Structures are given as structure tokens and as C-alpha cells.
């Protein structure tokens, strides 16, 4: 398929558009703090967001493109990358993110792309410049002004966040699991609550208290977190955290749909519910939350579900910053509409991949689902298409291959479906084998961002760390 870039009234091929611009003189940077552009202007491809999709994309682009004529740049608001599907483990302390994180700066040096720390605030599509917000230090002092970065091609890979559907009190009273910062905050609050219970148990006379956790949203994230919390309770006693027994953590998982894991089949959903209940999780399906209050959630029936820690992980919507980009079409959840080439529908120079885009899924009424495997596959197609465009070749259509969905229920157990030719359609799996498949997704990500040899070393190191380090990160 040939996707034409259209500049002014002259339709042109992808390659024409990028190549023409690459021979233009370098435009002066508006902000003196913007990264210096070499005197001889190179074509600059800027990727915003170094997550599951964006980090894989810059690694691929930096390997494929000729550095003399092209510059690949990654912009992220964080200095380090932690793969998002691990956040529930970071939140419970089952995973020490300091050991698993990747520093963008070092990765950029190794693979030959440029890393810029900053948060995208807007895009000036006319000037073709990305606008980054000012930088602030921890004390709230501004340490860097607003910054503009010129681009020839721009890829947005800024992920998504939970959707509160406008329910009052969620922003003020709920914790989330959208980023590493959220996961660290949850862990800190969880440990404080556990300390409270432990102190009460050792008081004279001893008091029996518990940590009540209510999670709204029983998709993969909510289910995985609820299961992982059971592991926390089990491990805390073994870590010398005073008098702490498993019953001290009471987890309630709340879902508005009639069953948990609505994206999986009924049988798997029922099996997951049984497993969770065996772990002591209270599952409340078909319960609609209308407000979050400081002491718990209010249901549509007027019931108050009391909790010490309130977590909101329901739904998916695009980051609000996309609302500030004029002229790009968005879905109802705010994601950028893209063509099958992964270019946005209104601007061929701007691409979007991963959770922040709504990409057609032929044969389905829904767009491609917001999953790590979709972001991984889109990174490969976007790299291919950007490279093809620069070389004057026609662009490919993105085709999502659903390899199934797996949800981790504990250290040893996962549940879900495998799909594809290998299993001859769709296969429901659970148990240790499912857990191994689940882990292979992360192995694929490590291989994509480190290469096969270093990727294998990282996988091996991860396995060793799990044996030699404490079960929980308690700080």
C-alpha cells in the first residue's frame, strides 16, 4: 500500500516528504536550551514516550537508519524505563524496580540515538515542533524553560491512563497504577498500613486490626494486583514485620461488569474468580461505583465499601495532553485515530503507536486493544514504515496478531488464552505453563531493547535476583 504524505496541495509519497525536508536548511531553534542541530541538517525522527512501544521503536530505528543523514530522538518525562506490565509487582514490592529499570541516557548512548528528558506539553504542527513543558526541581523551582524541538517525523507513544468516567472523588482519594511513581506511592502507603497493623498487634493489650484494600476494575491489572497482594501478606511475616498474618490484608476487587476479566471468555473468568477467592480476595462483580470517599467507595445501591487504601485501575483513556493538539482526530476515549500505516488520520508526519492510538482492527468492531503485545507489534511496523518512507518505498498496513491474553495470578499461576496457528485457533490455558508464556512477553521486550545476547543476560539476572534477594522490597 502506498500512503501519500500531503504537503500543501501537492500530494507526495512518504519518501518524498521526508527526503525533501531533509535537504532543507536547519531551522533555528526557538529555545536556546533545545538540543543543538548540526550545521548540516539531518532528518530528525522524534519519538515521544519510551514505554513498551516507544523504547522498542527507537532501538529499532537507531539500528536501521543511517546516522549520517538521520537522527533518532527519544523524549520521555522520566529518566528511566520500567516495563508497565510489571507495575503491579513494583506496587506490592514483589519486584525491586531499581534492579529492573533501564536508564534512557545509557541506553541511548549504546544504541546511537539522542535522549531528551521532558514532558510533551503541545505540538506546533505548522512549525513542525514539539513543545516540552518547563522542568522543575523537587522543591518546585524551575530549572529549565519551555523547549521546542523540530521534527521531520513525530511518533507519539505516550501510553494511557485509567479512566475514572467522571466519578467524583477518584482523583482526590484513589491511588492509581499508571506509572512507576504511582506504583512506588502505593507500596509506601501499603507498608505504612502494614506497620500500623503490626504495631496494634504488639500493643498491650494487643489489638487485631487489618489493612482493607479496595480495587476498582477487575481487568488484567486489578486481578493481577489483587493476587499479588496475597503474596505480600504471606511474605511480610517472614520478613520480620512483627505480628503479621495473612488475614491482615483484606482485599476487595470491584467490577461494574457482571464478571471479572470481561475480555476473556466466561470459563476463564469463572476459573480466575475461583483462584482469587481461594487466595482470600473478595470479588464483587456487577457493582457500580458512583463516588470515591476518603474512607471507601460508594456504590450505586448506596452501599459503602470501606477501605484504608483505595485503588482505581478501571478503564483506559488517552493522556489528557492529546486534547491540546489541534486538528488530530481522536476516539471517544481520547486516543489518536490512525490509519492502517499508523500515521494519524489528519497528519501523515505524525504517527501514533501503543495505547495512545486507536488503530483499526479489520474483522473487529473495536480498535486494536491497549496491550503490550500490540505496542510491541506496532513498534515493528512503525519502524518498517518510517524506514520505507525515507527510502522512497510504499508503506505497509499494520495487522495486529492476537497471540492471546494471559493474566498472572501468583508466582506460579497464570490464566488466559493462547491464539494462533500454533494452537489451531484459541486455546484456554492456566497454571504453570500459562505462567511461562506470561513471562515470555517480558523476555521478548528485553530482547527487543537489549538485543538477543544482552537480553538473555538480563533474563538470567532477573531469575538469579528472584532467588537471592528478599521476596519483598520493604522500602
Ligand X SMILES: Cc1cc2nc3c(=O)[nH]c(=O)nc-3n(C[C@H](O)[C@H](O)[C@H](O)COP(=O)(O)OP(=O)(O)OC[C@H]3O[C@@H](n4cnc5c(N)ncnc54)[C@H](O)[C@@H]3O)c2cc1C
Residue ranges that bind ligand X, judged by CB under 6 A: 48-54, 75-78, 81, 84-85, 87-88, 119-120, 157-159, 177, 220-221, 224, 319, 321, 354-356, 370-373, 375, 441
Q: How far is the CB of 434 from ligand X (least distance, A)?
A: 11
Q: How far is the CB of 51 from ligand X (least distance, A)?
A: 2
Q: How far is the CB of 121 from ligand X (least distance, A)?
A: 7
Q: Judged by CB, which is closer to ligand X: 48, or 253?
A: 48
Q: Judged by CB, which is closer to ligand X: 87, or 310?
A: 87
Distance CA 194, CA 93 (A): 13
Which residue from 204, 194, 207, 180 is spatially nearest to 246, judged by alpha carbons?
Answer: 194
Q: Judged by CB, which is closer to ligand X: 182, or 250?
A: 182
Q: How far is the CB of 363 from ligand X (least distance, A)?
A: 20
Would you state the torsion angle of the CA atoms of residues 62, 67, 69, 73, taken in this order, to the nearest 10 degrees?
Answer: 50
Sign of CA dihedral 83, 85, 89, 91: positive
Q: Judged by CB, which is closer to ligand X: 348, or 355?
A: 355
Burial of 204: CB neighbours in 10 Å, binned 0-12, 13-18, 19+: exposed
Chain centre distance of CA 379: 14
Q: How far is the CB of 474 from ligand X (least distance, A)?
A: 20
C-alpha cell at 244: 503479621
CA 281-284-286 angle, to 5 degrees, is 155
Q: Judged by CB, which is closer to ligand X: 65, or 223?
A: 223
Q: How far is the CB of 362 from ligand X (least distance, A)?
A: 20
Q: Judged by CB, which is closer to ligand X: 153, or 354?
A: 354
Q: Which residue lies nearest ligand X, judged by its C-beta? A: 51
Q: How far is the CB of 452 from ligand X (least distance, A)?
A: 21
Buried/exposed 326-350: b ≥16 CB within 10 Å, e otherwise: eebebeeebbbbbbbbbbbeebbbb
Sign of CA dihedral 94, 98, 99, 105: positive
Q: How far is the CB of 157 from ligand X (least distance, A)?
A: 5
Q: Do residues 407 and 435 touch, judged by C-beta distance below 8 A? A: no
Q: Do residues 64 and 200 touch, judged by C-beta distance below 8 A? A: no
Q: Judged by CB, which is closer to ligand X: 93, or 370?
A: 370
Q: How far is the CB of 55 from ligand X (least distance, A)?
A: 7
Provide the 3-class DSSP secondary structure of residue 434. Answer: helix
Q: Judged by CB, which is closer to ligand X: 65, or 132?
A: 132
Q: Residues 6 or more apart from 223 whose CB is under 8 A from it?
A: 253, 260, 261, 272, 276, 407, 409
- In angstroms, what is the C-alpha Rg of the chain? 23
Q: Judged by CB, which is closer to ligand X: 52, or 197?
A: 52
Amino acid at each position: 500500500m502506498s500512503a501519500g504524505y500531503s504537503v500543501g496541495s501537492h500530494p507526495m509519497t512518504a519518501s518524498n516528504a521526508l527526503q525533501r525536508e531533509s535537504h532543507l536548511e536547519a531551522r533555528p531553534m526557538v529555545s536556546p536550551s533545545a538540543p543543538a542541530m548540526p550545521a548540516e541538517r539531518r532528518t530528525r525522527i522524534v519519538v515521544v514516550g519510551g514505554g513498551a512501544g516507544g523504547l522498542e521503536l527507537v532501538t529499532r530505528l537507531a539500528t536501521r537508519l543511517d546516522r549520517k543523514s538521520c537522527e533518532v530522538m527519544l523524549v520521555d518525562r522520566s529518566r528511566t524505563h520500567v516495563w508497565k506490565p510489571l507495575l503491579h509487582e513494583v506496587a506490592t514490592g514483589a519486584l525491586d524496580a531499581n534492579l529492573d529499570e533501564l536508564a534512557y541516557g545509557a541506553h541511548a548512548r549504546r544504541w546511537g540515538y539522542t535522549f531528551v528528558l521532558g514532558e510533551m506539553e503541545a505540538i506546533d504542527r505548522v512549525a513542525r515542533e514539539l513543545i516540552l513543558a518547563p522542568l522543575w526541581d523537587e522543591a518546585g523551582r524551575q530549572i529549565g524553560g519551555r523547549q521546542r524541538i523540530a521534527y521531520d517525523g513525530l511518533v507519539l507513544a505516550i501510553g494511557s491512563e485509567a479512566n475514572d468516567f467522571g466519578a467524583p472523588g477518584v482523583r482526590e482519594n484513589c491511588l492509581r497504577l499508571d506509572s512507576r511513581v504511582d506504583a512506588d506511592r502505593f507500596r509506601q502507603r501499603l507498608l505504612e498500613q502494614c506497620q500500623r497493623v503490626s504495631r496494634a498487634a504488639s500493643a498491650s493489650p494487643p489489638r487485631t486490626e487489618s489493612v482493607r484494600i479496595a480495587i476498582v476494575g477487575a481487568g488484567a491489572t486489578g486481578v493481577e494486583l489483587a493476587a499479588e497482594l496475597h503474596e505480600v501478606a504471606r511474605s511480610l511475616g517472614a520478613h520480620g514485620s512483627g505480628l503479621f498474618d495473612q488475614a491482615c490484608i483484606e482485599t476487595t476487587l470491584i467490577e461494574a461488569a457482571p464478571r471479572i476479566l470481561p475480555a476473556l471468555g466466561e470459563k476463564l473468568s469463572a476459573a480466575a474468580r475461583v483462584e482469587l477467592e481461594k487466595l482470600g480476595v473478595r470479588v464483587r462483580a456487577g457493582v457500580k461505583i458512583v463516588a470515591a470517599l476518603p474512607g471507601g467507595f460508594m456504590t450505586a445501591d448506596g452501599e459503602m465499601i470501606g477501605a484504608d487504601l483505595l485503588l482505581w485501575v478501571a478503564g483506559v483513556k488517552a493522556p489528557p495532553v492529546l486534547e491540546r493538539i489541534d486538528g488530530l482526530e481522536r476516539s471517544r476515549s481520547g486516543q489518536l485515530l490512525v490509519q492502517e500505516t499508523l500515521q494519524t488520520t489528519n497528519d501523515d508526519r505524525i504517527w501514533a503507536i501503543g495505547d495512545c492510538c486507536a488503530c483499526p482492527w479489520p474483522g473487529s468492531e473495536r480498535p486494536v486493544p491497549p496491550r503490550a503485545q500490540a505496542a510491541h507489534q506496532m513498534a515493528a511496523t512503525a519502524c518498517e514504515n518510517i524506514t520505507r518512507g525515507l527510502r522512497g518505498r510504499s508503506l505497509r498496513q499494520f495487522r495486529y496478531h492476537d497471540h492471546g491474553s494471559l493474566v498472572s495470578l501468583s508466582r506460579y499461576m497464570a490464566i488466559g488464552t493462547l491464539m494462533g496457528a500454533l494452537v489451531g485457533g484459541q486455546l484456554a490455558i492456566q497454571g504453570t505453563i500459562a505462567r511461562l508464556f506470561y513471562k515470555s512477553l517480558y523476555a521478548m521486550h528485553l530482547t527487543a531493547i537489549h538485543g538477543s545476547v544482552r537480553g538473555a543476560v538480563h533474563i538470567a539476572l532477573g531469575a538469579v535476583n528472584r532467588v537471592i534477594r528478599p521476596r519483598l522490597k520493604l522500602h
